Homo-oligomer: A and B are copies of this chain.
């Protein structure tokens, strides 16, 4: 009985440790290799007249993998959906804007188990063109809180532009 009790106690502790690791380190979404060849969902732009131009100015493009495209059609995003929000600086030539360097990409990955505590979606931000350098803030919890507040369907706020 002592052995069984010890095994039980250990398994509970391991479970706790694993759960803690999952929620604290969150095994964050990996870099979305090849996303530039995914479907272009839509775009936006923060222009020089916008109050946040200095920090956010430029083009915003959204890309979706095949699973996420199924979600854009049905508004129920299946497991494995990945959506990339790409931020680029811009260059203004007499009112004609061109794309500039990449500021960052924001990645959302649907995995209901792995990200159970933050709405079933993992969040990650990669700096400039880096596939490894991550932005310190916002945290996934902050991402989730804001998306949850603005909730549309499955935390994805955009719609596919036909």
Contacts and interface: CB of A to CB of B under 8 A. Distances in A.
Interface of A: 36-37, 39-40, 42-51, 53, 59, 61, 63, 90, 92, 94-99, 161-162
A99 B49 contact: no
A interface secondary structure, majority: strand
Contacts of A45: 45, 59, 90, 96-97
A49 B94 CA distance: 7
Contact of A95 (B40, B51, B94): B51
A36 B95 contact: no
Contact of A44 (B39, B63, B96, B162): B96
B162 A97 contact: no
Contacts of A43: 43, 59, 61, 99
B40 A40 contact: yes
A51 B90 CA distance: 19
A61 B36 CA distance: 14
Contacts of A39: 36-37
* 7 nearest A-B pairs in the assembled complex, by CB-CB distance: A50-B95, A40-B40, A49-B95, A45-B97, A47-B95, A37-B39, A50-B96
B44 A98 contact: yes
Given A45-B96, A47-B92, A50-B94, 7 more contacts: A43-B59, A44-B98, A44-B99, A45-B59, A46-B95, A47-B96, A50-B95
